[in-house]
Structure 1
Amino acid sequence: MSTQINPRSFEGPRTLASASRFTSLLFVCTLSLLAACSKPPEKVEDIRPVRVIVLNPANADVTSELPGAVQARYESQLGFRVGGKITARQVDVGTVVKRGQVLMRLDPKDLQLAQAQAAAALSSAASNRDTAKADFKRYQELRDKNFVSQAVLDQKDTAFKAAQASYDQAQAALSGQLNQTAYATLESDVDGVVTAINAEAGQVVAAGTPVVSVARQGAKEVVVGAPENQVDKLRASGDVQVRLWADPKQIIHGTVREVSPIADPVTRTYAIKIAIPDDTPNVKLGMTAYAAFTSKTSDDALKVPLTALLRVQDHSVVWVVDGGKVRQVPVEITGQHGNEVWIQGALQGGQQIVTAGVNQLKPGQKVTILNAPEASLPAAKVAAVSGAGQ
């Protein structure tokens, strides 16, 4: 018996294989078409927006403004010349006093007792002196009659001189004790105003301890604290304009009278005393004042805002726009006022300096300018106290 094979039984597998090959070929063609149609992304050039100013030679009047207070040029710290217990205080802070006016008193009992003791010692010395003088006179008469020897007369003369010296000593002691008793009353030695009270009634003080401060009427000055990096420049300032916070419209012209050689241990600033005219109206002790010191910059100094500076390692630089690109130029800071600084370096007037965006730049980077360049003020004098009245 023979077996017949139907050829149609092989068509199914052949059809599946053909479909699989067709699908693979279609997938490969699709990938090829996608690869052919895709384009590489366009490269976008990095251009940073910045703001700039145009440099002009400064050579301007630079004003450094410092706050301070009005003080008396002469102020005395008064104290008792003897120690004791304070029994009375007859002035308050702000009291206007005259020369010789009583300020405080000490308990005088101990001083009065010492005075009485000195008076008694003087009386005793006077008696001894008179006795010695009478003896010397009597023995001198006896010597004239040759009743006593010259040696005895010399002894009486020596005794009289010693008694006289003891009397002089006791008299001086009494005079000193009288002064000590008078020192129990503290008096003002000038016409002025009381600025401080450092002791109260009932307090025991030692000799020389300051208990009252009296500012002398007349000469006044403004005292400001200067940072150490500006002391030398402010010392040479010839024009100092002072304004009071209570009356900012009034301008007082002063002169630097004294610069402290030692920095204040608390504020680490150097005190500068500015003398003002004695007849300046409406100036009272303790008023808040602002002193503006004006000085010239060097001929090659240029003024830029603080935002134009960038710190690179151990020096400062600015970005100069040149042909649409930026480059770094090292600079040296020679002065500062508010938000502006005066710099020196390889710069020239007319160059554009970046003032915003300095931290986002790198050498040779292209930039686009957001603002129309404005020239920095060349010789315009900085306002003496620009914010005093605002």
Structure 2
Amino acid sequence: MPKVRLHKLAALVVLGASAAWILTGEFSSVGSAQSGNSPPAAGSPDTPDAGQRPIRTVGVVTPPRREHARAIRISGTTEANRRSTLASRTAGIVAELPARQGTMVSAGDIVMRLDSEDKRSAVEMATAVLAQRQAELDAAERLASTGNVARLQLDSARAALATAQAQLDSANAELDRYFLRAPFDGLVDRVSVEEGSAIAQGAEVATVLDLDPVLAVGQVNEQDLDDLKLGEAADIRLVGGKVVQGTLRYVSRDASVQTRTYAIEVSVPNADRSIPAGMTTEITLRSDPVDAVFLPRSVVTLSQAGDLGIRIVGPDDVVGFVPIDLIDDTPRGLVLGGVPRDARIIVAGQDLVVEGETVKPVEADAETVRRLVGEAMGTTN
């Protein structure tokens, strides 16, 4: 018989010892059948019957509940409440630009004046003619009162006065076309012409912005549409991190054909005009508050049917499954609704058990509760 080499014999001994240790089943942790180094006594409650799964130990918590309004966060930009691009109403030479870039104007203030000497002369002539026709009518009325003038002459004097008034109105209207005025209170953001330059009719002259209030505009998806109410408060986070408050003033009822989203407008007070138009923002709207629990993402698991939710332990220590009603997804964790008030949520070992299985629930220690629940609620010190 060939001799067995020493290293082969050593290997066989190690293999046999390992197999014997594994067969003893001496393991202990959350999710295991038993804890400790000794097997349970025969007939004890924790002794599994032949062919049954061992009773596993799971960590559970009963998180505090809180009213929470779901946050609807969308990307957006700021826009002026009103924007007007002023254009010249007639051709001419720019004689004066009273409003400069960056200055504030009131409704009716002159932004640009074109050279209009000939039009002023026309107004003065029409004014003189009107005064003459008025004097002629006064004389005709005095003569008519004494019977020294025919009725037809009196009517002719009145018609001449009306014609002179119309000519004066037309001359004033023509002169007014040489003045460009601000349509509303606002900020002159850009002036496109210079004094002394010649411009054509319809040429762009200046842009006036109404920045108080300023608007934060964005698009919401169709699932969130029913949660929005006009007049509700909204938070606007600007690029630099500053957060300002606004009010939802408009929700479109016509979806974009390309994205199936709806335009919204949030009005933000901006008396000092510190918030410009065209700035990127994050708009946060909130739905009506509902009863919810705050939990970390790690507790979320899949049911046997593949649904996303959490596993709970009922009063009879039997595992159940609750589908997720996701109210909000915050940077610290999830906000879930629809969780029964008496439910103990499995936070350790949830992936090792199945629905309908009897388990041994162990309340998580204070440190675990603080870490899992406190951090999710944002109350960690």
Q: In which range does the TM-score fall when normalised by the shorter chain?
A: 0.5 to 0.7
| CA pair 90-340 structure 1, distance change in 2 beyond 3 A | farther
Q: 2:338 aligns with which of 340, 344, 368?
A: 344
Cα separation, 1, equivalents of 2:282 and 2:187: 25
Partner of 1:377: 373
The within-5 A match list for 1:1-390 is 54-62=61-69, 64=71, 66-69=74-77, 74-80=81-87, 82=89, 84=91, 95-99=101-105, 103=111, 143-144=147-148, 153-182=150-179, 185-187=180-182, 190=185, 192-194=187-189, 206=202, 212-216=207-211, 226-230=220-224, 233=227, 235=229, 243-246=237-240, 248=241, 254-256=245-247, 258-262=249-253, 265=256, 268-276=261-269, 278=271, 283-286=274-277, 288-290=280-282, 297-299=289-291, 301-305=292-296, 308=300, 310=302, 317-320=309-312, 326-338=319-331, 340-346=334-340, 348-352=342-346, 363-364=355-356, 374-375=368-369, 376-377=372-373, 381-382=377-378
State the secondary structure of the residue aligned to 1:298: strand
Larger Rg: 1 or 2? 1
Q: Which has the higher contact order (CA 8 A, sep 6+)?
A: 1
The Cα of 1:156 is off from its aligned counterpart by 1.4
Cα separation, 1, equivalents of 2:136 and 2:338: 93
Q: Summarize deviations over 1:214-244 as a string: whole Å, max 9, x none.
A: 245x655655655454466564897755554
The Cα of 1:344 is off from its aligned counterpart by 0.7
Instruction: Check whether the contact 2:69–2:289 (CA below 8 A) recurs between aligned residues.
Output: yes
Instruction: Check whether the contact 1:242–1:290 (CA below 8 A) recurs between aligned residues.
Output: yes
TM-score normalised over the length of structure 1: 0.53
The Cα of 1:213 is off from its aligned counterpart by 3.0
State the secondary structure of the residue aligned to 1:176: helix
Letter paired with 2:276: L
State the secondary structure of the residue aligned to 1:59: strand
Q: Unmatched 5+ residue regions in structure 1?
A: 1-41, 145-151, 384-390
Cα separation, 1, equivalents of 2:85 and 2:65: 51
Q: Summarize deviations over 1:301-341 as a string: whole Å, max 9, x none.
A: 23345562659999764444678975433453444435524
State the secondary structure of the residue aligned to 1:56: coil
TM-score normalised over the length of structure 2: 0.54
| CA pair 177-363 structure 1, distance change in 2 beyond 3 A | same
Cα separation, 1, equivalents of 2:272 and 2:57: 54
Cα separation, 2, equivalents of 1:187 and 1:133: 41
Q: Summarize deviations over 1:71-130 as a string: whole Å, max 9, x none.
A: 66x5441424735589699799x9311437765566x68xx7777777777777777777
| CA pair 156-188 structure 1, distance change in 2 beyond 3 A | closer
Cα separation, 1, equivalents of 2:64 and 2:215: 36
RMSD: 5.8
State the secondary structure of the residue aligned to 1:156: helix
Q: Unmatched 5+ residue regions in structure 2?
A: 1-22, 24-49
The Cα of 1:169 is off from its aligned counterpart by 1.6
The Cα of 1:172 is off from its aligned counterpart by 1.8
**Structure with more helix by fraction:** 1
Letter paired with 1:344: G
Instruction: Check whether the contact 1:235–1:256 (CA below 8 A) recurs between aligned residues.
Output: no
**Percentage of matched positions with identical amino acids:** 14
Letter paired with 2:155: T
State the secondary structure of the residue aligned to 1:162: helix
Cα separation, 2, equivalents of 1:83 and 1:262: 40
Instruction: Check whether the contact 2:252–2:262 (CA below 8 A) recurs between aligned residues.
Output: no
Cα separation, 2, equivalents of 1:315 and 1:205: 67
Letter paired with 2:336: W
Cα separation, 2, equivalents of 1:121 and 1:61: 72
